[in-house]
Amino acid sequence: MSTKEEHQYAKKIKEQAYNLGFSLCGITTPESPLHIEEYHKWLSDGLHADMEYMGNDRARHMRANPKDIFPECKSILVVASNYYQGEFLHPSSDAISGKVARYAWGKDYHTVMKHRLQELMGFVECVSGKPVRYRLYVDTGPLLERELAQRAGLGWIGKNTMLINHNIGSWTLLAEAMLDIWLPPDEPYIVDRCGSCTFCIDACPTDAIMSDPRRIDSNKCISYLTIEHRGAINSDRRSDLDDWVFGCDICQDVCPWNNRFAMVEHDVDFAPVYPLPHLDLHNLLQMDQSEFSRTFSGSPVKRTKRSGLIRNASVALGNHGDDKSIHALANSLSEDPDPIIRAHSAWALGKIGDKKVVNLLNCARDNEDDVDVLVEIKAALEELSSQEKKQ
């Protein structure tokens, strides 16, 4: 195949990628990442928190050596899907709702993008006229995918570590196809267009965004705390979550590139699926495991599991501080089978600070046998006592 034919072949593949719903498409090589040492430093500094799957020996080795994942690989096709759906007004009701990151409003992007990639691979084989071996990854493989996207010309890595494209901003999800055929690679995106802007750094309520070098401290990140973190959330971090119950979009919401260039994508696969985008927090506290599984089947929200989502809902209600939530939290504290949820419900009741809460907490303490829950109840009672003395 001549060079001209190879470029025409690559052009056809990209056109088909756009036809299938991808917003960006580029090609790069399976060379070792230039920023692998920065990744290793991020790990050694413990900034990956409890995400051990990112720091084990296999993950380190594979991210440093993409060809070891798929030795036959000659090219990597990188695609991005724009999931920005615009604004959806809160329903006109008295419900207290929690926020969910935009990417999780619709269907699970892993399923959506992999299906589209598989269709694209069929086209690749059709155009090439021969079987093509490949490996597909949608945020699931040991790849430094944002570096690959930058190398494939899709954009630059911003100060919040998100990939930003000058035409559509950062509301994108990435996926890769490692191919055993050679395709002409695109020019890498070498321009850093963040300039002196620090909007994302300044807006992050937990100071999770580190500027030099550009890194995220997962231990502080709201997205990590509400999704990946299992068990109790450190009490010092709970107020920072505000009303986020799954992920966080703050750093993207304030980004000037999103405010100027974000394009509403009317993609049915990313459109909100009930009960999203506004989750009724009181309803969440009443969900048992079967209802949780049924409600969030096929949704990214299921990743946090029932324990994590209702834990987050309890924290959000505590931060909201409305005495209308006392009944729902008291029921959760006394009846929920999960001690993690009971513990955070106790904290939330303490935050609301209503005098009637004292009796509820005392009653719950008398019937509780989990040590961690008892610690939270004690802390909540002490907080209420302290508040009363100040009045």
Cα–Cα distance between 315 and 320 in angstroms, integer? 9
Residue of 50, 57, 94, 139 marked active site: 139
Beta-bridge partners for 164: 156
Per DSSP, 139 falls in state S
Residue whose entry in the numeric block shows the structure tokens 């939330």:
348
Measure Cα distances from 157 to 67, 124, 195 in Å. Answer: 23, 29, 12
Which residue type, as a one-letter code, is found at position 366?
D
For residues 103 and 257, give the distance between their C-alpha atoms in angstroms, rounded to a whole number: 18
Q: 322: which residues sit within 8 A by CB, 6+ positions away? A: 96, 352
Tokens 């269709």 correspond to 119
What is the C-alpha to C-alpha distance for residues 322 and 286, in angstroms, rounded to an integer?
Answer: 18
Let me know the angle formed at the C-alpha of 270 by 265 and 272, rounded to the nearest 5 degrees.
110
**In angstroms, rounded to a whole number, what is the distance separating the alpha carbons of residues 278 and 256?**
25
Phi and psi dihedrals of 74, rounded to 5?
Answer: -120, -25
**Are the beta carbons of 309 and 100 closer than 8 angstroms?**
no
Closest CA to 153 of 16, 273, 14, 54: 14
Beta strands at 209-210 and 215-216: parallel, antiparallel or unpaired: antiparallel
Collapsing DSSP states into helix, strand and coil, what is residue 123?
Answer: helix
Q: Which two tokens stand for residue 146?
A: 């944002």
Let me know: does 252 contact 162? Beta carbons within 8 Å.
yes
139 as an active site residue: the answer is: yes
Give dist(CA 341, CA 258) in Å, integer: 36
What is the Cα–Cα distance from 363 to 85, expressed in whole angstroms?
A: 46
- Count the Cβ atoms, other than its own, within 10 Å of residue 215: 18
Angle between helices 109-128 and 3-19 (to 10 degrees): 150
User: What residues act catalytically?
Assistant: 139
